[in-house]
Chains A and B, each alone.
Chain A
Amino acid sequence: MLLVLSFAGTAANVWLLSGLVPWFLLPDFSFLAIVYSGLFLPGPLGFLAVLPPALFREVTVTGPPGTFFLASMAVYFSASEIGRRIFIRAEIFWFLIVAGLLAAESASVLLLLILTGGNPFSYLRGAEEAVRIAWTSLLAVFLFMDLSGRWQRIQE
């Protein structure tokens, strides 16, 4: 399910909707799949599940080679650690975890771009990025509710 989500979501965003829908309204499905793998799937299964979405991000983000694969793995281990240390009681936790990880990743890349001599920051860009983070995090909550509902039905 996570593999399908990351492949179909990334393909739809990059090859189908890009140029039609503004970038900040396109949720990062691969990122969501990575976070869910870290939170839900323990052990080697989670590690295997995170490889395809990390690869999809590496291929579809035009950053320096290798960096987004490594960053995705770092997000996976962060989510895994959060899943072990925090008892997630309500939907707001999902929202905050995804929003926090997305914001941390975004701020890190922005800082690195500035340190390497670029100047990509503008207030409009910042506002758009805030919309993207909020929108992806909100979708993460609904997606979690849907997935957990499906899982319960399978168990019953």
Chain B
Amino acid sequence: MVKFLRTWWRLLLLVALLATGIQFFVRPPGFSLTPFLGEIGASLFRPVYGSIDFLRRGISSVWSGYFDLVHVKKENAELRKEVAALQEKLTESRDAVLENRRLEELLRFSRARETRTVGARVVGHDVSPWFQGIFIDGGAAAGIDMGMAVVTPAGAVGRVHRTYQDLSEVILLTDSRFAADVIVERTRARAIAEGMGGNLCRLKYVSPTEDVVRGDRILFSGFDGSMPKGTLLGTVVSVDRPREGLFLNIRVVSAVDALSVEEVLVVLSRPAIPFQRGMP
């Protein structure tokens, strides 16, 4: 027995590690085994992503500054004309300006009340072939927590999956583990959106009697409490009506191209349904 263990202990350990890994994958434990180690790893990479982000911003500002200078003379003349026209319009529409101020105050109030957000910069991408994720430079120190929604003005990006002190992992809505309740903007038909890789999501459980056509905009319903209500998911690119089967096959292209997005907003309201650690 001792001889057997001495010969094969590596293989036995390998099997044990794989079994534990599979268990963690399928059913993540309530506690994380590596919060301390993960924090060390994130701290080790902090100077790297900080300096690379600084360099990117520097190069980008120099480049755009150069282009601004080239076009500045022409743009100046156009802007002067525009300012004169706008001043005339402004004096004509005092009532509209006052109304606008009132609405603006209301909007500010609703923003402060419901959707407090924090801006973050995208500093890296998950390059593994199995998952679609990005890394943002805001973490627990900025009030970001697991399960919070990540959006841009153009639409939703994903959901926070794991946080460190000043770094967070975000699972994109095209990742196969992402799912959320959505509605079709035009007909209000409900469905479950699920990531399917690339830039696509699929809509599940849509009856063939529902009116969904190519070009329909898909919004998050907010019913499951995971994503803000009314946030744009994307646009329907194909609707297949299978001869057999209970539901339509619908594909949606994401409104936001995650590879080109540079800044995001994290909605600082915790999801209504608490997320289990490690589950997207």
B52 with A16: CB separation less than 8 A: yes
Q: CA separation between A67 and B177, bound complex, in Å?
A: 15
Q: Chain A: which residue is nearest B48 at the CB level?
A: A11
Mask of A12-32 contacts with B, CB within 8 angstroms, 1/0: 011110110001101000000
Point out the residues of chain B lying under 8 angstroms from A108, CB to CB.
18
Interface contact A112-B26, CB-CB below 8 Å: yes
Evaluate contact between A122 and B127: CB separation under 8 angstroms. no
Q: Tell me the A99-127 residues at the B interface (CB within 8 Å).
A: 106, 108-110, 112-113, 115-116, 118-120, 122, 124-125
B14 and A81 form a contact (CB under 8 A): yes
Which listed segment binds A: B37-45, B57-65, B92-100, B233-241?
Answer: B37-45
- Kindly specify which of A57-65, A86-94, A138-146 makes contact with the partner chain: A57-65
Q: Which of B119-139 contact A (CB under 8 A)?
A: 123-133, 135
Scoring B residues 179 to 204 as 1 if CB is less than 8 Å from chain A, else 0, what string do you get?
00000000000000010111000000
**Quick check: B259 and A19 within 8 Å, CB to CB?**
yes
- Which of A58, A63, A122 lies in contact with B25, CB distance below 8 A? A63
Please state if A77 and B34 are interface contacts (CB–CB under 8 Å): no
- Which residue of B has the minimal Cβ distance to A80? B10
A143 smallest CB distance to B (angstroms): 18
Cα(A24)–Cα(B197), bound, Å: 14
The DSSP consensus for interface residues of chain B is mixed
Q: State whether B169 touches A74 (Cβ < 8 A).
A: no
Asked whether any CB of chain B lies closer than 8 Å to the CB of A71, the reply is yes
**Inter-chain residue pair count (beta carbon < 8 A):** 161
A66 lies within 8 A of chain B by Cβ: yes
Question: Does the CB pair A116–B26 fall under 8 Å?
Answer: yes
C-beta contact mask, B158-169 vs A, less than 8 Å → 1, else 0?
Answer: 000110000001
On whether the beta carbons of A74 and B171 are closer than 8 Å, the reply is: no
Nearest-CB distance from A83 to chain B (Å)? 10
List, in ascending order, chain B residues with CB within 8 A of A115's CB.
26
CB-defined contacts of B22 to chain A, threshold 8 Å: 112
Establish whether residues B169 and A125, one from each chain, have CB atoms under 8 Å apart when the complex forms.
Answer: no
Bound-state Cα–Cα, A115 to B23, Å: 12
Q: Which residues of B97-156 are within 8 A (CB) of A?
A: 123-133, 135
A23 contacts across to B, CB distance below 8 A: 125, 127-129
Write out the residue numbers on chain B whose beta carbons fall within 8 Å of the beta carbon of A58.
Answer: 34, 37-38, 41
With an 8 Å Cβ cutoff, the count of chain B residues facing the other chain is: 56
**Do B34 and A69 touch (CB < 8 A)?**
yes
Contacting residue for A74 out of B21, B126, B127, CB 8 A:
B21
Would A61 and B21 count as touching, CB distance under 8 A? no
B-contact 0/1 string along A37-68, CB 8 Å cutoff: 00000000000000000011011111111110
Whether A118 and B177, one on each chain, are in contact in the complex, defined by CB atoms closer than 8 angstroms, is yes
The complex places the Cα of A110 from the Cα of B194 at a distance, in Å, of 17
For residue B205, CB closer than 8 A to chain A, the reply is no
Q: Is the beta-carbon distance between A125 and B21 smaller than 8 angstroms?
A: no
A73 within 8 A of B: yes
Asked whether, in the complex, the Cβ of B17 is within 8 Å of the Cβ of A60, the reply is no
Whether A7 sits at the interface, judged by CB under 8 Å, is yes
- Chain A residues, Cβ within 8 Å of B25: 63-64, 67, 109, 112, 116
A132 contacts B196, C-beta separation under 8 Å: no
B31 CB to nearest chain A CB (Å): 9
Contact with A along B1-40 (1 / 0, CB 8 A): 0000000001101100110111011101100111001101
Q: In the docked arrangement, what's the CA distance between A128 and B130, Å?
A: 11
Partner of B129, one of A65, A66, A118, A128: A128
Pairs A–B under 8 Å by Cβ, sample size 9: A13-B127, A14-B125, A65-B28, A66-B21, A67-B24, A70-B20, A81-B10, A115-B26, A119-B196
Known: A58-B41, A66-B21. 6 other contacts (CB 8 A): A14-B125, A64-B278, A77-B10, A110-B130, A122-B198, A124-B198
- Sorted nearest first, the 6 A-B pairs with minimum C-beta distance are A62-B133, A118-B176, A18-B125, A59-B41, A70-B21, A120-B176
